[in-house]
Amino acid sequence: MAMKGFLDMLPLSLAVIPWGILCGSLAIQRDFTPLEALFMPILVFAGSAQLVAIELMANNVPLATILFTTFIISSRHFLYGLALRDKLKILPLPWRLSLGFLLTDELFALSGTAKSLKGKLRLVYALSASLSFYLFWLAWNFVGIIAGTYLPDLTTLGLDFAIAVTFIALVIPNISNFPALVTVIVAGVLSIIFKLLNWELGLVISAIIAMLAGYITLRVMDEGQLKILKILKVKRK
Amino acid sequence: MNLLTIVLMALITFTTRYLFIHPSVPLRLGPKMVKLLSFSAPAVLTAIWVPIIFIQEQELVISPTNPYILGATVAIVFAAKGKSIYLSVGMSMLVFVALKFIFLG
């Protein structure tokens, strides 16, 4: 199970090579010491928050602004915690702390099924998946720190494509019914609008509205089915 | 100074991840809430990948020669046909890199 976790996470661990190298090298290019650059992935462990914070810190933006921006970017994790709450809150403290610390977009993407995280084996699976992802993330950052100033500006090379298609490969096979399709379409359209408006909070807001849209669609369909069932019963009589 | 900022940032990212899995947080999820949250994975992941594909340099780029869109289309087709994540990602990366090369060169 540990091996399976590692292998299932591997495509995601590899897809963040560009991001990790970028985070490491950008920190060095923005005059972070190697130690500071290394503490970013070790402690913060969040791609987009790291990137944005490095730029803000380099521009001497006030501490409160940096922390607030970090909070906004990271706020999607509240949703992950909520979604996994009933499964994780019953675990002993060491499990909660470690899986909590390692709760990335990537771990959440692998924990979508009803059975996930239930029982010792599936916990070992999740721990091995997320811990290996963490170690890979450190390694890619480390490569970026070492390469540092020797690398050109990586932001313009289209390196974000890898993570986008990885998420596509994870989301598309799970669109198994109409409400899920509605969720994905609403999330896609709104996220574009909010991004063009330059709202940092746009990601979370579009996700929440999309969840509501999917849920309402499900309810409407359920009620529609109930009505049809009632009509059928009446006819049988 | 930077180190202090980094430690404070780490506290924030950890808190956003851990808060709701802490048992003594007074919160009980009803069946409706659980159902609603079952849509969170496709919602959040889609809200992350769609802007990467369609927005470049703060502008909406919907054109048939956009390597992002063509590459993503390949990934969607392979994923929808139930191909492995490696094949979907690998083929779309191949198309993406080739197109970038063609259109740049």
Question: Phi-psi category of B57—alpha, beta or left, where left has phi over 0 and alpha has psi -120 to 50?
Answer: left
B72 min Cα distance to partner chain A (Å): 6
Which helix or strand (DSSP H or E) is residue B56 part of? strand B55-56
DSSP-derived letter for residue A157 is T
Q: What is the pTM of this model?
A: 0.86
Residue B82, judged by CB atoms within 10 A of its CB (0-12, 13-18, 19+), counts as exposed
Which of A22, A54, A80, A85 to mutate to test binding with chain B, by most B CBs within 10 Å of its CB? A85
CB atoms within 10 A of CB A129: 26
pLDDT for A237 equals: 65
Residue A50, CB half-sphere, CA atoms under 13 Å: how many?
Answer: 26
Q: B14 and A101 in contact (C-beta within 8 Å)?
A: yes
B104 pLDDT band, cuts 50/70/90, is low
Q: Domain residues of chain B, as ranges?
A: 2-104
pLDDT on residue A154: 61
Chain A positions in Cβ-Cβ contact with residue B82 (cut-off 8 Å): 173
Tell me the mean pLDDT per 10 residues along chain A, length 237.
91 89 90 93 91 88 91 92 93 95 93 86 94 96 87 67 90 92 97 92 92 95 86 77
Q: Does B6 touch chain A (CB under 8 A)?
A: yes
- The percentage of residues in chain B with a pLDDT greater than 90, rounded to a whole number, is 59
User: Do A78 and B20 count as a contact with CB atoms less than 8 A apart?
Assistant: yes
**pLDDT tens string B5-20:** 999 999 999 999 999 9
Say what the pLDDT of residue A113 is: 81
pLDDT recorded at residue A151? 73
Q: Considering chain B, what is the average pLDDT of its residues?
A: 90
Are B50 and A174 within 8 A, CB to CB?
A: no
